[in-house]
Amino acid sequence: MPLPPLNMISLENALNHSAQDSILDLSVRELLERLGSSDPAPGGGAAAALAGALGAALVQMTANLSIGRPKLADIEAHARQIEAQAAELRQRLAQLGDADAAPLLNRSVISDVMVGALLAQAALESAALNVEVNLAAITDAGAAHALQLELDRARSGSAKRLARTLDSARSRLSLIKAVAKS
């Protein structure tokens, strides 16, 4: 099912954000510098949308790796469908991330802290999955075990730290809401 088109003309007018200011035209290094700066935008919304776009790009790559392979001819039509949907989702999320990077006034950084914590956890778990796959290929059992222990240490307590960070941010958000109501 195709995603509805993103009307960039009205989006540019609504956000006063031209295509010339697109974060999509930045290098990864420049984007990271902007995210790490004291500027309120781009922030958590842009980072989350771009992380989603990266995920969609990986799905698209996987589908593309299946297309044109004689051994996978029976699933090629399905792989092409997945590739097209992933490409469309990747583009849509990239556009939404770019739109969220538009300068806004009075932004709360609480959501940025929460998104940052979630993305850091996702990065850790994603890297751990890659290491686990690579560990399976290591023939030296002692080296594989030592690396597995190192991986376990890196992951140890990360879920609890994430939960504490999110709980703390939600508590602060509740305080902000209470003050705003009074």
d(CA 20, CA 12): 10
Looking up tokens 């959501």 gives: 111
pLDDT for res 11: 35
- pLDDT band at residue 20, thresholds of 50, 70 and 90? low
* pLDDT (tens digit per residue) in 64-104: 999 999 999 999 999 999 999 999 999 999 998 888 887 66
Answer whether 0.85 is exceeded by the pTM: no
Which tokens in the block code for residue 103? 């300068």
35 token code pair: 């995210």
pLDDT beyond 70 at 119: yes
Residue spans of the domains in the chain: they are 1-105, 108-182
Amino acid at the residue 101: A
